[in-house]
Amino acid sequence: MNRNFYVTTPIYYVNARPHLGHTYTTVVADTIKRYYQSSGINVFFLTGTDEHGDKVVEAADKEGLPPQEYADMISGAFRATWDKMGMPADDFIRTTEERHKRVVRLFLQQVYDQGDIYFSRYGGNYCFGCERFYLDRELVDGKCPDHQVEPQYIEEENYFFRMSKYQDWLISYIKENHDFIRPERYRNEVLSFLSEPLEDLCISRPKTRLTWGITLPFDDRFVTYVWFDALINYISALGYPDGELFHTYWPHANHIIAKDILKPHAIFWPTMLKSAGIEPYRHLNVHGYWNVESQKMSKSLGNVVDPLSLMDTLGLDAFRYFLLRDMVFGLDSNFNHEAVITRYNSDLANDLGNLLSRTLTMAVKYFDGVIPEPGKDKSATDGELMATALAATRDYRMYMEDLAFHRAMTAVWEVIRRSNQYIVESEPWTLAKQGNRGRLSAVIYNCLESLRTIACMVYPVMPQTAEKIFASLGLDPELVRSGLAGSDDWGKLPSGLTVNVPEPLFPRIETKEKPAPQVEQKQSSKPKKEKKIKKVIEPPAEITIEDLQKVDLRLAQVISAERVPGADRLLKLEVEAGGRRTVVAGMAEYYTPEEITGKSVVLVANLKPVTLKGIESQGMILASENDQGRLSLLTLDGVGKPGARVR
Ligand code: ME8
């Protein structure tokens, strides 16, 4: 495997502040960086800002600032956002920096000397929003598909890049290098575009129209077209042509972009590189678009999601997890407030949070917090847990390298769910009661080892969580950063370390109001006041004494209990409450059938029956919930006879 890896985001325009879309791409790049680094590979991660062109001049004018001052301000906001989100890149390139301008001029000169740039008069449909000419066939109903405005016909003398000369080469290159552009849908889109004749690319703007750009080295009456300037950032930051970074990292370049900028990256950039005699990048990785509540995110709709506000309300790791778990890389996704909360509560608070707290609590209770020996007393369930973890690690790697983050996370969650199940099946509480220390140590060791494996795999997506898990296991949290390097085996966790039970990592979120991430107000520079998600359980609405009297609470004794096949969380109970009845209870994660049998519990006796998994449930039993979502039965052992009213 290559020992070096180069990952880039687009350099973002400084005409808008960072939002959910930019954040997604940057989180993806940071995750990839962490994944490869934790596998022992050297990674260079580049991001930055695109600061030339009409759009920036227009935005600066609106703010009444000179373009450079305006660019400094917004570029600073991007950099500060990535810093606050714990993902500073190895370099942050700005196209107004001298080091970049120098390489752009050198590159232009090389392509010019090669005979691939010529001067000509051109008339065409120009979209000022996109800063480019459009062919008729690219317009939708005569309008620019991105800006929904009719382009203006303009005629000018300009410099052109002989892009058409490289069309056949590009087609063959894409065909021969199957994963050059991925996922495949975008490769097909590019090939289909290339099936029509490719036009040459206009690469200059006369200074009479635009001065905010890099002057052409061979004609100072013109500035460089912003895309020709911007794409070169990927090599100017590496110190092209002689920089050591360039030689080390360029052969392993992976660009991450969204579908909006496919054409410049898939067509302009490889042909530009070819003309300049530089090898193409290794992969172009293209993701879809985030919409918000099913609408395109836009300033004019006032639905632009502010990442810092969302990070404050959800927590950084939960936010990162949501982004990567809920978008299929390559497809569009919808950002929806309910989906965020549902994902958080089920995957983080419930599955991962519970596994961590119950495992560590048991290690403290049964072994005074000292990690026991794995022991020799093995059972088939141990083998299953280990096999699940090893298979998941293999799948996880494959998916991460394919950028199928949602699948990679599903693989990790299989281990989490299997581990929770393993606890229920192994019944450590019964082993403790029986004094079966050999088996108990094996079970607790396996749960702790499973947590270590899980931490290594979640690290690239949820770095803080992984570090906290390592710290709770008594391991140096720094070690998780190299956790995947050669550690695909089971049993690495050393016995004898002391664990500790951390504060709940993901307290459940109960909310009635929308967890509104801060949304930029239309026509207002002041951010809208943030509505916090309440991380507390809200009391239900008040009821009257008459309402209360409608509820028939009875003392009930559990006569027998069994698991409901095909439902991990359900137990079927036979209860005596002045008559026998069946109740289906969501308690299987917290009680085994044997533990629950014989208990005196409180039954809501007049609840309308419901059918769950084909069984009619005639009532509900009461339980209290702790702040990690764990349920404990309200028991009244020895208090009265089954069927007695509870008031
Ligand atoms: O295009 N969903 O900059 P830009 C997902 N300067 N990703 C989104 C998104 C959304 N709704 N909105 C934006 C430019 N992005 C050029 C790039 S590179 C040499 C020059 C992300 O500020 C996504 O990565 O318009 C998209 O490709 C990029 O921001 C566009 O950023």
The per-residue pLDDT for 628 is: 52
The per-residue pLDDT for 284 is: 98
- 444 — pLDDT class (breaks 50, 70, 90): very high
Asked if domains 317-482 and 547-633 share a fold, the reply is no
Q: From CA 459, how far away is CA 452, in angstroms rounded?
A: 11
- Mean pLDDT of the 411-424 span: 97
Ligand 1 atom showing the smallest separation from residue 15 Cα: 22
Is 299 known to be catalytic?
yes
The per-residue pLDDT for 532 is: 40
Domain boundaries, the chain: 4-287, 317-482, 547-633
The model's pTM is 0.80
Ligand 1 atom showing the smallest separation from residue 297 Cα: 11
- CB-based pocket (< 6 A), ligand 1: 10-13, 21-22, 24-25, 50, 230-231, 233, 257-258, 260-261, 289-290, 297
Is 378 known to be catalytic?
no
Q: In what order do the strands lie in the sheet with 295-296?
A: 295-296, 290-292, 333-335
**Cβ-count burial 144-169 (b if 16+ within 10 Å, e if not):** beeeeeebeeeebebbbbbbeebbee
Q: Which of 50, 127, 259 gets mutated to test ligand 1 (max ligand atoms within 8 A of its CB)?
A: 50
- 487 — pLDDT class (breaks 50, 70, 90): low
The per-residue pLDDT for 611 is: 80
Ligand 1 atom showing the smallest separation from residue 289 Cα: 2
Residue nearest to atom 4 of ligand 1 (CA): 12
The neighbour count for residue 540, using CB atoms within 10 Å, is 7
Q: Residue 116: which residues within 8 A CB-CB, separation 6 or more?
A: 161, 162, 165, 275
**Above 70 in pLDDT, residue 468?**
yes
Task: Please state which of the four CATH numbers 3.40.50.80, 3.30.200.20, 1.10.730.10, 3.20.20.70 is assigned to the domain occupying 317-482.
Answer: 1.10.730.10
Residue nearest to atom 30 of ligand 1 (CA): 12
The answer to whether the beta carbons of residues 334 and 291 sit under 8 Å apart is: yes
How many angstroms is it from 19 CA to the middle of ligand 1?
10
Q: Which of the residues 19, 33, 252, 255 is marked catalytic?
A: 19
Give DSSP secondary structure letters for 2-25.
-SEEEEEEEEEETTS---HHHHHH
Q: Which of 25, 229, 295, 305 gets mutated to test ligand 1 (max ligand atoms within 8 A of its CB)?
A: 25
- 315 — pLDDT class (breaks 50, 70, 90): very high
**Above 80 in pLDDT, residue 621?**
yes
How many angstroms is it from 347 CA to the middle of ligand 1?
29
Percentage of residues in the chain having pLDDT higher than 90:
72
Reported as a single tens digit per residue, the pLDDT across 94-110 is 999 999 999 999 999 99
Residue 586: both structure tokens together: 């969501």
- 514 — pLDDT class (breaks 50, 70, 90): very low
How many angstroms is it from 47 CA to the middle of ligand 1?
12
How many angstroms is it from 90 CA to the middle of ligand 1?
20
Reported as a single tens digit per residue, the pLDDT across 142-198 is 999 888 899 999 998 999 999 999 999 999 999 999 999 999 999 999 999 999 999
**Above 70 in pLDDT, residue 626?**
no
Percentage of residues in the chain having pLDDT higher than 70:
93
Q: From CA 467, how far away is CA 356, in angstroms rounded?
A: 13
- Mean pLDDT of the 519-527 span: 38
Is 447 known to be catalytic?
no
CATH fold label, 547-633: OB fold (Dihydrolipoamide Acetyltransferase, E2P) (2.40.50)
Check: CATH 3.30.70.360 for 4-287?
no
Q: Which of the residues 62, 175, 178, 296 is marked catalytic?
A: 296
More confident residue, 55 or 408: 408
The neighbour count for residue 78, using CB atoms within 10 Å, is 23
Is 202 known to be catalytic?
no
**Above 70 in pLDDT, residue 88?**
yes
- What value does the mean pLDDT of the chain take? 91
**Above 80 in pLDDT, residue 530?**
no
Q: Residue 560: which residues within 8 A CB-CB, separation 6 or more?
A: 573, 574, 593, 597
R_g (Cα) of the chain, nearest Å: 30
Is 127 known to be catalytic?
yes
- Mean pLDDT of the 352-368 span: 97
- Mean pLDDT of the 238-246 span: 98
The per-residue pLDDT for 542 is: 64
Nearest to 153 by CA among 130, 126, 176: 126
Reported as a single tens digit per residue, the pLDDT across 627-642 is 555 678 888 776 778 8
Between 176-190, 271-285, 476-490, the lowest mean confidence (pLDDT) is in 476-490
Q: From CA 68, how far away is CA 296, in angstroms rounded?
A: 30
- 540 — pLDDT class (breaks 50, 70, 90): very low
Is 296 known to be catalytic?
yes
> Within a 13 Å sphere around the CA of 125, how many CA atoms are in the beta-carbon half?
13
Q: Residue 266: which residues within 8 A CB-CB, separation 6 or more?
A: 174, 181, 186, 190, 284
The DSSP 8-state label assigned to residue 268 in this structure reads I
The pairs formed by 435-440 with CB atoms below 8 angstroms and a separation of 24 or more are 436/377, 438/375, 438/376, 438/377, 439/375, 439/377, 439/379, 440/366, 440/372
- 602 — pLDDT class (breaks 50, 70, 90): very high
Q: Residue 321: which residues within 8 A CB-CB, separation 6 or more?
A: 343, 347, 348, 409, 458, 461, 462
Q: 610 forms bridges with which residues in the sheet?
A: 617
- 537 — pLDDT class (breaks 50, 70, 90): very low
**Above 70 in pLDDT, residue 513?**
no
The per-residue pLDDT for 132 is: 80
- 224 — pLDDT class (breaks 50, 70, 90): very high
| Three-state secondary structure of 316-353 | HHHHHHHHHHHCCCCCCEEECHHHHHHHHHHHHHHHHH
Residue nearest to atom 18 of ligand 1 (CA): 10
The per-residue pLDDT for 538 is: 33
**Above 50 in pLDDT, residue 531?**
no
